[in-house]
């Protein structure tokens, strides 16, 4: 397969087009601007629709409307822009509307900084909007992985009739790497996907269409609302069994285990190789789905050998570390290696953190 050189944001957009996305609405914000810019050029070439909304709120609700018709639809933003979209995302979860969106994280809180960060972990995995709904959240560590995860995200969204989030960061979004693109879905397949949604989609058919369910953002009595929440819970529980994705690297004999996601996971993997070369038995657990979280991977650690876990993230205070601690269940020390505000994690900071664990200085 031919490899080409692509920037992360543009690769995410191209992967979505190839997966059959035919509607995108968004609003400019750094560092994800190349996503809507790319869609603006690309959508007319495939008969799709691009709209720059007047705001993040308008854009996510346009996606809500397009996805309600059965069209594969997407939006994107960065951090504070995602906060503005959260109500529309919660509406989609309530109405069982499949959509995909991407957060190319920047520093915070508030407007923060335009440089890369990983400070939206809690928002992404615990509170993407009001009401306690959950989403599958994918965290790529390379541009190629961003392509593959985005391409597959639309299938998960359609399967579950639920929003799916690609949780990237400013490094992944702006770096360029050689990648292989997936095949373009043929128009016949894209149309078949849309036709498969006729039982619930708003396509102008009669209201008594067999088995049609209403597209609405709420349930107007408590019995229906609880039933909807119970049905959603079954979907979430199935993810834990069937859909966890994780990279486990050299953990079988590890004396110290690094754990990180996204770009920090990539940096941690390089640190593992250097630590091994220096005679320190390091390993890595890198969640690819941060929701559902790969709790069972931490059960594979030999806690008789392991002196500690180093949780690594570009966030202060730590967020990802809370899930790591929950997975470790106090079986060994969990320490953190942190940066934020647009500072990018360094290999040396990770190596220094490991050495502190090995020397008993934490």
Q: What is the pLDDT of residues 242-260, one digit of tens each?
A: 999 999 999 999 999 999 9
Query: Exposed, middle or buried: residue 274 (CB in 10 Å: 0-12, 13-18, 19+)?
Result: middle
Q: Is the dihedral of CA 118, 119, 125, 131 positive or negative?
A: negative
Q: Per-residue confidence at 280, pLDDT binned at 50, 70, 90?
A: very high
Q: Please check the confidence at residue 88 and state whether its pLDDT lies above 60.
A: yes
Q: Say how far apart CA 317 and CA 225 lie, in whole Å.
A: 35
Which helix (DSSP H) or strand (DSSP E) does residue 247 occupy?
strand 246-249
Q: Please check the confidence at residue 67 and state whether its pLDDT lies above 60.
A: yes
Task: State the pTM of this model.
Answer: 0.95
Q: What is the mean pLDDT of residues 119-140?
A: 96
- pLDDT cut 90: percent of the chain above it: 88
Which helix (DSSP H) or strand (DSSP E) does residue 5 occupy?
strand 3-7
Look at residue 254 in the predicted model and tell me its pLDDT: 97
- pLDDT cut 70: percent of the chain above it: 95
Paired strand residues for 247: 286
| H-type alpha helices, 162-244 | 170-174, 187-195, 222-242
Q: Say how far apart CA 285 and CA 139 lie, in whole Å.
A: 13
Q: What is the mean pLDDT of the chain?
A: 94
34 — alpha (psi -120 to 50), left (phi > 0) or beta?
A: alpha
For the segment 13-58, what is each residue's pLDDT rounded down to a tens digit? 999 999 999 999 999 999 999 999 999 999 999 999 999 999 999 9
User: What domains are defined for the chain?
Assistant: 3-198+230-240 (3.40.50.970), 247-358 (3.40.50.920)
Look at residue 204 in the predicted model and tell me its pLDDT: 65
Q: Per-residue confidence at 205, pLDDT binned at 50, 70, 90?
A: low
Look at residue 19 in the predicted model and tell me its pLDDT: 98
Q: What is the mean pLDDT of residues 277-301?
A: 98
Look at residue 199 in the predicted model and tell me its pLDDT: 83
Q: Say how far apart CA 288 and CA 243 lie, in whole Å.
A: 10
Q: What is the mean pLDDT of residues 318-343?
A: 97
Which helix (DSSP H) or strand (DSSP E) does residue 104 occupy?
strand 99-105
Look at residue 361 in the predicted model and tell me its pLDDT: 77
Q: What is the mean pLDDT of residues 101-130?
A: 95
How does strand 282-287 pair with strand 289-291?
Answer: unpaired
Provide the 8-state DSSP code for 315: -
What is the chain's Cα-based Rg?
21
Look at residue 170 in the predicted model and tell me its pLDDT: 96
Beta-carbon contacts of 200 under 8 Å, excluding residues fewer than 6 positions away, are 96, 161, 212, 213, 215
Q: What is the mean pLDDT of residues 179-204?
A: 92
Q: Please check the confidence at residue 228 and state whether its pLDDT lies above 80.
A: yes
- The structure tokens listed for 180 are 């292989």
Q: HSE on the CB side for 94, CA within 13 Å?
A: 19
Q: Say how far apart CA 315 and CA 321 lie, in whole Å.
A: 10
Q: Per-residue confidence at 211, pLDDT binned at 50, 70, 90?
A: very low
Look at residue 308 in the predicted model and tell me its pLDDT: 97
Which helix (DSSP H) or strand (DSSP E) does residue 124 occupy?
helix 121-125
Percent helix, strand, coil in the chain, to 5, is 45, 20, 40
Look at residue 216 in the predicted model and tell me its pLDDT: 64
Give the closest residue to 315 by CA, choosing from 345, 284, 339, 281: 339
Q: Per-residue confidence at 1, pLDDT binned at 50, 70, 90?
A: low
Q: Say how far apart CA 201 and CA 212 lie, in whole Å.
A: 8
Q: Per-residue confidence at 360, pLDDT binned at 50, 70, 90?
A: confident
Look at residue 214 in the predicted model and tell me its pLDDT: 53
């Amino acid at each position: 397969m031919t490899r080409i050189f692509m920037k992360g944001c543009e690769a995410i957009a191209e992967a979505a087009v190839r997966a059959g996305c035919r509607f995108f609405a968004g609003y400019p914000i750094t560092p994800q601007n190349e996503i809507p810019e790319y869609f603006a050029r690309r959508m007319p070439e495939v008969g799709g629709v691009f709209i720059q909304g007047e705001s993040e709120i308008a854009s996510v609700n346009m996606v809500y409307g397009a996805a309600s018709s059965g069209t594969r639809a997407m939006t994107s933003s960065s951090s504070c822009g995602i906060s503005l979209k959260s109500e529309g995302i919660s509406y989609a979860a309530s109405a069982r509307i499949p959509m995909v969106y991407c957060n190319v994280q920047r520093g915070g809180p508030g407007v923060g900084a335009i440089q890369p960060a990983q400070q939206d972990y809690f928002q992404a995995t615990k509170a993407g909007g009001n009401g306690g709904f959950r989403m599958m959240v994918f965290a790529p560590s390379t541009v190629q992985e961003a392509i593959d995860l985005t391409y597959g995200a639309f299938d998960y969204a359609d399967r579950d009739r639920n929003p799916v989030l690609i949780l990237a960061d400013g490094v992944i979004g702006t770096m360029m790497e050689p990648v292989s693109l997936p095949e373009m879905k043929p128009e016949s397949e894209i149309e078949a996907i849309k036709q498969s949604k006729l039982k619930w989609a708003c396509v102008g058919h009669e209201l008594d269409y067999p088995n049609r369910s209403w597209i609405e953002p709420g349930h107007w009595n408590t019995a229906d609302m609880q039933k909807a929440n119970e049905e959603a819970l079954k979907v979430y529980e199935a993810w834990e069994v069937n859909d966890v994705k994780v990279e486990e690297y050299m953990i079988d004999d590890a004396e110290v285990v690094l754990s990180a996601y996204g770009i920090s996971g990539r940096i941690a993997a390089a640190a593992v190789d250097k630590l091994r070369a220096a005679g320190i038995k390091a390993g890595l657990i890198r969640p690819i789905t941060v929701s559902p979280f790969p709790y069972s991977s931490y059960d594979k650690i030999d806690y008789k050998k392991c002196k500690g876990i180093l949780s690594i993230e570009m966030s202060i205070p730590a967020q990802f570390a809370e899930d790591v601690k929950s997975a470790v269940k106090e079986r060994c020390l969990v320490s953190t290696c942190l940066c934020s505000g647009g500072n990018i994690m360094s290999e040396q900071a990770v190596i220094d953190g490991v050495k502190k664990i090995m020397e008993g200085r934490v």
